[in-house]
Structure 1
Amino acid sequence: MTSIFADYSFEGFWDESDYALRAYVSAQTPSDKLIKQIEDELGYKFPASYIEFMKLHNGGTPHYNCIYLEDEEYPLQITGFFCLGDESKTYSLVRSHNRMVIGWEYPATGIYICDSPSAGHDMFMLDYEGCEAGEEPQVVNVDQEGDYEKIVVAQTFEEFIRKLEVDRGDE
């Protein structure tokens, strides 16, 4: 099997701070069995690029945390990617996803995969709304303050990762 990210360097991508390791990162690589269990629980199949990404680093806070969109004045920012399976982590995927859908009444049209510095007022998700069988979901930013408006940030998860940049304001 060819690696989806074979030509992408993750050097410098991750913040390995104590906070990131304590709250977001699972030391366990997610097994195929665990991935299938989470997919069944949430009712959606993960894209192959997402699975590969999570097997490379199961959750965490990236240094590459900004997406610059043409129509937006400021970048959309990510705080961290939720880990798969380690429910002892504050930011595990199932716990965080359920908190957004059940507790905060975010749309249940996909899987919430990472948060932002807004403390829950906008989130990033794999959006399966309108996907036909076998189609890969888009990655969208969902804005709670904007009546849960969705902004498409990438057509695929792979594109999402490749679009992430270090904050240009930090250069």
Structure 2
Amino acid sequence: MEFKDGSIIYPLPDDTLLSEKEGKWRIKLPEAYKEFIKKYNGGTPIKDSFKCNNHIYAIDRFLCILKVTGERDDEYYDIGVVRTQLDERIVFDENLVGTELLPIAVLFAGDFVCLDYRTNKEQPRVVVWNHEESGDLDPVTYDVSNSFSDFISMVE
């Protein structure tokens, strides 16, 4: 996968930061995703389209993983920051401890690609979260693929 020049956000996350985020979110990130984010943190892909639910979606950019300090403008694209902004719109149960939907990419027009941990905590599916159809504690998602690796192979 190729990315637009200057779109990758530095510093790239290392294993220590990824492990810290996994603990905070109470999930295990797929190995393929960890290898991807360690190379292409927050990047904007040149080939950016994929099909889902009889619709063609365009990836605006992948989200990044940073140590958030509040000192950088590009922290707006950090997964944790986006997750907090979406708050109850990506949560099914307000008493849930941990993460069920983890946004990993911003789509054109406000939807997100998410890792979906609802049915399998070890191997999350990839879904599109629809912002227009979703309400508080009632996120609407569409299945894209069974794994992050499969998702990446779909992007054209």
- Band the TM-score falls in, shorter-chain normalisation: 0.7 to 0.9
Alpha-carbon contact 2:17-2:67 (below 8 Å) kept: no
Aligned to 2:123: 136
Q: TM-score, normalised by structure 2?
A: 0.81
* Aligned residue among 56, 59, 63 for 2:46: 63
* Aligned residue among 74, 83, 95 for 1:97: 83
Alpha-carbon contact 1:106-1:144 (below 8 Å) kept: no
Is 1:82 the counterpart of 2:63? The answer is yes
- Change over 3 Å in CA distance of 1:14–1:86 after alignment to 2: farther
Alpha-carbon contact 2:90-2:101 (below 8 Å) kept: no
State the 1:29 CA deviation.
Answer: 2.3
* Structure 2: runs of 5+ lacking an equivalent: 92-98
Is 1:115 the counterpart of 2:102? The answer is no
State the 1:15 CA deviation.
Answer: 1.3
The code of the aligned residue for 1:82 comes to: L
User: How many percent of aligned residue pairs carry the same amino acid?
Assistant: 25
Aligned mates of 1:145, 1:96 — CA distance in 2: 17
Aligned mates of 1:123, 1:58 — CA distance in 2: 16
- Runs of 4 or more, structure 1, over 4 Å off, are none
Q: How does 1:7-86 map to 2 (within 5 A)?
A: 10=1, 13-17=2-6, 20=7, 25-69=8-52, 71-72=53-54, 74-86=55-67
State the 1:151 CA deviation.
Answer: 0.7
Is 1:155 the counterpart of 2:136? The answer is no
**Superimposed CA distance per residue, residues 98-147 of structure 1 (whole angstroms, 9 cap, x where no aligned partner):** 21125xx22352211111111x3x21100000115xx3100000112123
Paired residues in the alignment total 140
State the 1:36 CA deviation.
Answer: 0.6
More strand by percentage: 2
Aligned mates of 1:111, 1:142 — CA distance in 2: 10
* Structure 1: runs of 5+ lacking an equivalent: 1-9, 166-171
